């Protein structure tokens, strides 16, 4: 019987056949040689044999058999011998590419394990010698701030993680690498952030400027007090990293992502503590400048260095499906709900600033959300899913720096209107222009959601700090009447550090690049065990 002969051929294939051509075509028509029987029996045999092969044997053996069968198909084969295997994917393969892909994957994962494992051991050593619990123990303030910590952590893992699942074939990478970035950033920022705060003389740590010997430096540096506020600061660093990650998501290997996180956190801490706060006395309650502006333009600089996706299937791999879009929209709603906690997490408890951040952030988010629907429908003649997934949050980004000021409810709504306008325009016009003219590929559109709204927020806080009536009684301006200049200088300094640091780190990350020829972008398969969904 012909089907038995076929099955015997498959069983006789040695293990080395795994490197044979792997057609894996989604919706691609494959040929099976017809039996010398009637038309009806021929159709029956081809369907039965194909089903048996697909169900019983590993995918690569099946594709090798189909490859061999198609090469033996006589030119006179009737058209009804064509069958469709709709569950197979679209990437053609060769024995050489299959072998090269396996080698590249193993090398990448080995480097990833060594880097992350070694870094975790380093963190363990540093925490052993440099970190302790608060001398006075945990206080009631820590109890309250834990609620904010929990809310911000939900934003990081569920909000940012699911927001970036819009690519149908990169869901595991979006959520999984978001998880990895967060857990790397929290302890790393606790160390680097407190170190640079000490060097700049911020908070309760003495200034270490002028100490010339390493021994003296270590001897005068107090141990880091691990309280809930320190954990919050770690989450804020993770937010900046996740924003940067959004610009290059799907284009980096796990090793490159881990390297990006390890290199960017100290630069983030240096910019915030030494440049923005230490040098310019910049105030930023909700992270508009310290987090969003820095993270967006650092990520864009990295994306510029990494360049455009190189694999032929990249564009198709990045396409969304209705399921991936719904998951992404779930991330949007989580971010929208918890954004007031993000902006007000470090506001003084029990004071006007705490309630102001909540009220102003909610008003800005409501207006940016509603205005996004209006603009998206007007510009696209339909409601764009991308606009709703992203631009609805732009008000929270823009209002952050001025959220603890008396900007009035109408002022908060106006900030949301403006932020949504530039964000929707960015997604529909600016992003394409940057990609075509500057060769800048922004995977998630972080320039539209974080970069431009952060620039709007910078202008708004400059205006707000220049109006005396906007300052609450318990808010002190380090520069007094010159505080607007401090805000502008801090933003410009942040832009400079972010872009320069991003270019340098991007160059390093690119030098450790993935083999895009064999491991295409925007696909989970090269680095994750991906479950197969039965049809």
pLDDT digit string, tens, across residues 405-454: 999 999 999 999 999 999 999 999 999 999 999 999 999 999 999 999 99
Point out which residues pair with 225 in neighbouring strands.
Answer: 132
pLDDT at residue number 497: 98
CATH topology assigned to domain 95-126+143-511: Ammonium transporter fold (1.10.3430)
The whole-angstrom separation of Cα 166 and Cα 445 is 12
Q: Which tokens sit at 183?
A: 């857990």
For 175-213, letters b (16+ CB in 10 Å) and e give: bbbbebbbbbbbbbbbbbbbbbbbbbebeebeeeeeeee
Tens-digit pLDDT profile for residues 350-386? 888 999 999 999 999 999 999 999 999 999 999 999 9
For 209-303, strand residue ranges (E) read 224-225
Q: Which residues of the chain have pLDDT under 50?
A: 1-92, 206-218
CA angle 184, 224, 132 (to 5 degrees): 90
The pTM score is: 0.81
Domain spans of the chain? 2-85, 95-126+143-511
How distant, in Å, are the alpha carbons of 30, 81, 455 from that of 70?
Answer: 7, 11, 58
pLDDT at 376: 97
């Amino acid at each position: 019987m012909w089907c038995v002969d076929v099955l015997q051929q498959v069983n006789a294939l040695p293990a080395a056949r795994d490197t044979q051509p792997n057609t894996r075509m989604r919706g691609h028509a494959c040929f099976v040689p017809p039996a010398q029987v009637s038309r009806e029996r021929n159709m029956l045999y081809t369907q039965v044999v194909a089903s048996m092969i697909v169900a019983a044997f590993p995918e690569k053996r099946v594709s090798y058999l189909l490859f061999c069968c198609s090469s033996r198909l006589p030119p006179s084969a009737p058209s009804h011998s064509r069958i469709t295997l709709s569950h197979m994917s679209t990437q053609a393969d060769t024995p050489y590419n299959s072998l090269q892909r396996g080698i590249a994957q193993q090398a990448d994962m080995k480097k990833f394990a060594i880097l992350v494992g070694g870094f975790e051991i380093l963190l363990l050593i540093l925490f052993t010698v440099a970190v302790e619990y608060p001398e006075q123990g945990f206080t009631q303030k820590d109890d309250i701030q834990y609620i904010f910590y929990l809310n911000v952590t939900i934003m990081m893992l569920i909000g940012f993680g699911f927001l970036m699942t819009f690519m149908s074939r990169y869901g595991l990478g979006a959520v999984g690498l978001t998880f990895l970035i967060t857990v790397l950033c929290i302890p790393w920022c606790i160390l680097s952030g407190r170190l640079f705060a000490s060097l700049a003389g911020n908070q309760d740590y003495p200034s270490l400027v002028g100490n010339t010997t390493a021994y003296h430096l270590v001897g005068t540096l107090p141990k880091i007090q691990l309280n809930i506020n320190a954990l919050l600061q770690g989450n804020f660093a993770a937010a900046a990293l996740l924003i940067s990650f959004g610009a290059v998501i799907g284009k980096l290997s796990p090793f490159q992502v881990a390297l990006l996180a390890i290199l960017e956190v100290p630069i983030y801490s240096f910019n915030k503590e030494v440049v923005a706060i230490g040098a310019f006395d910049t105030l930023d309650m909700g992270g508009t400048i310290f987090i969003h502006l820095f993270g967006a333009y650092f990520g864009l600089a990295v994306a510029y260095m990494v360049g455009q996706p190189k694999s032929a299937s990249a564009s198709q791999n990045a396409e969304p499906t209705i399921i991936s879009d719904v998951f992404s929209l779930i991330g949007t709603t989580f971010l929208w709900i918890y954004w007031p906690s993000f902006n007000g997490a470090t506001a003084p408890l029990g004071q006007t600033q705490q309630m102001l951040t909540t009220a102003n952030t909610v008003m800005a988010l409501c207006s940016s959300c509603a205005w996004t629907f209006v603009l998206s429908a007007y510009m696209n003649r339909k409601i764009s899913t991308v606009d709703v997934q992203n631009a609805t949050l732009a008000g929270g980004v823009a209002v952050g720096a001025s959220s603890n000021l008396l900007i009035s409810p109408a002022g908060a709504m106006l900030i949301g209107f403006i932020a949504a306008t530039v964000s929707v325009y960015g997604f529909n016009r600016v992003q394409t222009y940057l990609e075509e003219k500057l060769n800048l590929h922004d995977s998630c559109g972080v320039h539209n959601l974080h970069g431009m709204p952060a620039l709007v927020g910078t202008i708004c806080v400059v205006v707000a700090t220049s109006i005396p009536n906007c300052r609450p009684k318990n808010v002190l301006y380090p520069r007094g009447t010159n505080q607007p200049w401090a805000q502008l200088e801090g933003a410009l300094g942040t832009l400079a550090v972010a872009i320069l640091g991003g270019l340098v780190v991007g160059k390093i990350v690119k030098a450790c690049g993935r083999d895009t020829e064999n491991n295409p972008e925007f696909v989970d398969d090269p680095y994750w065990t991906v479950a197969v969904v039965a049809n």
